[in-house]
Amino acid sequence: MADVSSDMICTTLCVNQYQNIEIHSMKRISTVQRFLLPIAILIILAAILQAYFEYRGKLATVEQDAQSQTRASIQLLQTTENLVHSQVLASMRLLRQNALNLGLPAINSSTVLNGKRIPNLVFGNHPQTGNFSVVDEVTRINGGTATLFVRAGDDFIRISTNVHQLDGSRAIGTLLDPKGRAIQALREGKPFYGVVDILGNPYITGYEPMFDAEGKLIGIWYVGFQADMDALRTTMENTRFLETGFAAMLDSHEHIRFLSSHIKTAAAERLLAERPATWRLISQDVPSWRFKVVYAYPKKEAAVQGLIKALYVLLSGLVGLGVLALIVQSQLTRLVIKPIGGDPALAVALVRKIASGNLEDDGLTGQQNTLIAHMITMRNNLRRMMDTLRSNSENLSLAASVFEHAGDGIFIADARLCIVQVNPSFEKITGFSAEEAKGKNPQELSFAIHDPKSLLEMIYCVKKNGQWRGELQNINKRGETYLISIDVSSVANQDGLISHYVGTFSDITLMKRQQESLQHMAYHDTLTQLPNRALFADRLRQALARVSRTEETIAVCYMDLDGFKPINDTLGHEAGDDLLIKLSERIKESLRSGDTIARMGGDEFALLLCNLRSGAEARDTLDRILQNIKQPFQVKNTEVHISASAGMFLNPSPDQDLDFILSRADHCMYLAKTNKALDFYVYDSTMEPLRPV
């Protein structure tokens, strides 16, 4: 392409030189020849230009085709990932369900694996180190691979897997790649789903953090399926772009995974590494796979096709263009060029400049008594007029614009604090027009109407310090209260005496309301509007402080709904949210004014019962709440039934922290959930360590 451009430039220079030579010879040739020569040159240049555009268009078409095939390859990868993703989700649910059928995940002391001591992960009473029954059951039903990891410090160790190493053994005792894509999310307690490279093969995987009953990260659940790359391999191998162009798929290590069959791997690797200037390489990353799709073709092949198209257009267009050019040239010269006084494009450009306000002298001249000459004279006159007007109005325009368009309200008052001028924002905020405000002091316009002392303080500070800043509560003309943030400063005359006051203010009512709303959101659950964990902790600290003074009886309860997940799955998350809201209202109606219910997350709630006369009253209150929960709910015109399991910590000590108290109540709740015969268990710090009631 560079060679073709050079040829075109040389051709243009030669034509210009030829035209210069002919100008000196015009007196020796006929009038017809003198007329036809520039037209012939114009025809040749137009034909060359059209051929050039056709050439560039062909190159662009080749480029677009390569881009299109690149996107098609990427779409094939994304389709493969989307198809397998649902299998990954199903296997993850099966893996977790099979494990929970054995019991809750926990760490029970330690064990030895490959000569190294590691934490002993158990499901209920079933150790999982070297036990492959859970992961093999997932693979037997859904295929793919499954793995259990246990956390050891900052690392995660495979303790049960059906992923095999190159020697055929199971890859237990190996670490999850500490620099891999999944581990950062998992360390933060977040799941990771995506494509990872396992033993040199792409797997579409799912990793989810494993927590014990206290919410501590103790391991990882993993499932994965090896991606089926046959369709992509076939597509790549059958791809031939132009004559020798090829397609390649590279992995994250820049190794070729798939390649067009007509080129050898060594040759392709050399081209991809050297990236010679004679080849066009189009590459696009596939972040989710960490692959790169590359399409490459020789620029020479694309240029040859472009030249063929350009030559065809050049030869077919010269004849017709020549005839048309002769006719147009004759008419333009007689009817347009002479009256205008030059190139029509110059006249058009000049008109556009004047219309846009550009009156600068660009050195353009025109023949006398022509359109261009008259337009240049008009432009010069306009420029002198505009310079004069601009000089006189700039200062006034700037000051007026700032005053009129300021978003803040502005008022100017005289030395007696009587308003002499206000801006539109003042009228908008206060509701008083400029005519109503003039001659009045701010207090007459209901500034600081509820606290006149603050207005006196403002005047005192401005007189003393020259300025004052603060907040005032006012009433607008409509009788509505609003809050402003205001700055007032004084203006002194030549004698140093205050001649005027300037006040600027903004309405911060909405901002204050938003701050209050944010304060509410920080301490309440967004769905049920119940107190959240932070507010519950604060109220518990207050209750414990009272206990140390009054020795009143309090109880902390932790509840988890039974049967909520099937309702959420069958009727939908919207129905589940509606059920949680109605449940929260029912529990609130069962409590006294001094008690607190908080949503701790999901379908878990905490209760703080205060001012109790005895432990029996605490049990009766909790039992009444649990019985109320069992009453039917109407959700989406459907009657649903749920229950709850609960644990109670009775008479916590003031020196015990929130986590300790909630963990005991939570543990009792899990005992109640395990023993279906009892709705709740009670932990009493004055009794035995733990017992059912």
CATH of the domain at 677: 3.30.70.270
Could you tell me the pLDDT band of residue 325, with boundaries at 50, 70 and 90? low
Rounded to whole angstroms, how far apart are CA atoms 186 and 219?
Answer: 9
Predicted pLDDT at 5: 45
The two tokens of residue 600 are: 């701790």
Residue 338 has pLDDT above 80, yes or no: no
Residue 185 and residue 113 in one domain: yes
Residue 127 has pLDDT above 80, yes or no: yes
Do 471 and 544 fall into the same domain?
no
Q: Which of 8-17, 331-340, 385-394, 443-452 has the lowest mean pLDDT?
A: 8-17
Condensed to tens digits (0 to 9), the pLDDT of residues 72-108 reads 777 777 777 777 888 899 999 999 999 999 999 999 9
Query: Which residues make beta-bridge pairs with 241?
Result: 245
One domain for residues 506 and 629: no
Per-residue pLDDT at 111 exceeds 90 = yes
In a domain, 470, yes or no: yes
Is the separation of the CB atoms in 674 and 659 below 8 Å?
no
Residue of higher predicted confidence among 5 and 530: 530
Give yes or no: residues 499 and 624 share one domain.
Answer: no
For 142-192, how does the pLDDT look when each residue is reduced to its tens digit (9 = 90+)? 888 999 999 999 899 999 999 888 888 898 999 988 888 888 889 888 999
More confident residue, 397 or 285: 285
- pLDDT number for residue 315: 81
Name the band, by pLDDT with cuts 50, 70 and 90, for residue 13.
very low
Q: Is residue 251 part of a domain?
A: no
* pLDDT class of 10 with cuts at 50, 70, 90: very low
Overall number of domains in the chain = 4
d(CA 542, CA 152): 38
Digit-coded pLDDT (tens) for 262-283 = 888 888 888 888 888 889 888 7
pLDDT at 689 over 50: no
SS percent in the chain: helix, strand, coil, step 5: 50, 25, 25
In a domain, 96, yes or no: no
pLDDT in tens, 602-612: 999 999 999 99
pLDDT level of residue 27 (50, 70, 90 thresholds):
very low
Query: What pLDDT is attached to residue 6?
Result: 46
- The sign one gets for the Cα dihedral 594, 597, 600, 601 is negative
Tokens coding 638: 């459907």
- Would you state the pLDDT for residue 22? 39
Structural contact between residues 415 and 499, judged by C-beta atoms closer than 8 angstroms: yes
Residue 689 to residue 681: CA distance in whole angstroms: 12
Question: Is 14 part of any domain?
Answer: no
> Which of 371, 403, 435 is the endpoint of a domain?
403
Nearest to 605 by CA among 657, 570, 656, 562: 562
Picking from 636, 640, 661, 634, the residue whose alpha carbon sits closest to that of residue 649 is: 661
Same domain assignment for residues 682 and 535: yes
Residue where a domain stops, chosen among 491, 512, 533? 512
Give the tens place of pLDDT for each residue, 203-246. 889 999 999 999 999 999 999 998 777 767 787 777 777 777 88
Structure tokens at 578: 């509606």
Q: How confident is the model at residue 69 (pLDDT cuts 50, 70, 90)?
A: confident
State whether 220 and 358 are in the same domain: no
> 266 lies in a domain?
no
CB 668 within 8 A of CB 649: yes
Torsion angle, CA of 60/62/63/66, rounded to 10 degrees?
Answer: 160
123 or 36: which carries more pLDDT confidence?
A: 123
Higher pLDDT: 48 or 573? It is: 573
What is the domain-level CATH number for residue 415?
3.30.450.20
Is the predicted pLDDT of residue 639 greater than 70, yes or no? yes
pLDDT digits 0-9 by tens, 241-255: 777 788 887 876 777
Same domain, residue pair 398 and 372: yes
Q: Are residues 429 and 372 in the same domain?
A: no
Residues 392 and 467 in one domain: no
Written as one letter, the residue type at 53 is: F
Residue 628, pLDDT > 90, answer: yes
d(CA 559, CA 648): 9
Is 608 found in the same domain as 542? yes
pLDDT at residue 140, rounded to an integer: 93
Task: Give residue 595's pLDDT band: very low, low, confident or very high (50, 70, 90).
Answer: very high
* pLDDT score at 19: 40
| Higher per-residue pLDDT: 568 or 201 | 568
Judged against a pLDDT cut of 70, whether residue 335 lies above it is answered with no
479 plus 539 within the same structural domain: no
> In which domain, by residue range, is 634 found?
523-692
Res. 55 pLDDT band, cuts 50 70 90: low
Q: What is the CATH number of the domain that holds 141?
A: 3.30.450.40
- Tens digits of residue pLDDT in 289-315: 777 888 888 878 777 877 887 787 778
The mean per-residue pLDDT over the stretch 528-537 comes to 94
pLDDT at 678: 79
Q: 29, 42, 628, 610: which is closest to 321 by C-alpha?
A: 42
36-63 average pLDDT score? 72
Tokens of 515: 């701050």
pLDDT tens digits for 539-573?
999 999 998 888 789 999 999 999 999 999 999 99
Mark residue 168 as left, alpha or beta (left: phi above 0; alpha: psi -120 to 50; beta: remaining): left
Q: What is the mean pLDDT of the chain?
A: 82
Per the domain annotation, does 129 fall within a domain? yes
Which of 403, 438, 471 lies at the terminal end of a domain, its last residue?
Answer: 403
Report CA-CA distances (Å) from 420 to 143, 428, 620. Answer: 84, 17, 72
545 touches 537 (CB < 8 A): no
Asked if residue 413 is part of any domain, the answer here is yes
Angle at 399 between CA 396 and CA 405, to 5 degrees: 125
Closest by CA position to 236, among listed 203, 211, 206, 265: 265
Element (H, E) at 464: helix 452-465
Domain annotation covers residue 64: no
Same domain assignment for residues 354 and 462: no
